[in-house]
């Protein structure tokens, strides 16, 4: 599991502390052969799900796409991203990862 920690702030001073986790691809135990999955979780927001693909690479790429959608949703809601301890320096998370 890989993880990254962020603080997201809204202009109304709402603050969220998020740990975003992305699991490594693994065979889907519910399938007899072939499909893979990656875990995507942001427990502070109740997100704890698997992202599926036909192979390890596709499941990982789909999980990264889910991460991108998640970030875009927060940005469209007016949140800005920061690293913990550096709340005076906004992170352009989309250009950092995408």
| pTM, rounded to two decimals | 0.86
Residue 94: CB partners within 8 Å, gap ≥ 6? 68, 71, 72, 75
Q: Is the pLDDT of residue 98 over 80?
A: no
DSSP codes joined into one string, 55-67 = SHHHHHHHHHHHH
pLDDT tens-place string over residues 23-33: 999 999 987 77
pLDDT tens-place string over residues 22-77: 999 999 998 777 899 999 999 999 999 999 999 999 999 999 999 999 999 999 99
Domain ranges of the chain: 2-87
Cα-Cα-Cα-Cα torsion 51, 54, 57, 59, nearest 10 degrees, comes to 0
* Residue where the block lists tokens 């704890």: 48
Hey, how many other C-beta atoms are within 10 angstroms of the C-beta on 98?
Answer: 11
């Amino acid at each position: 599991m890989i993880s990254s920690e962020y603080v997201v702030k809204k202009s109304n001073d709402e603050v969220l502390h998020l740990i975003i986790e992305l699991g490594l691809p693994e065979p889907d135990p519910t399938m007899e052969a072939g499909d893979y999955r990656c875990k995507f979780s942001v427990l502070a927001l109740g997100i704890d799900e698997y992202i599926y693909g036909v192979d390890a690479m596709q499941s990982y790429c789909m999980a990264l796409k889910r991460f991108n959608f998640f970030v875009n949703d927060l940005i469209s809601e007016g949140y800005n991203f920061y690293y913990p301890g550096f709340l005076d320096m906004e992170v352009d998370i989309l250009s950092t990862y995408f």
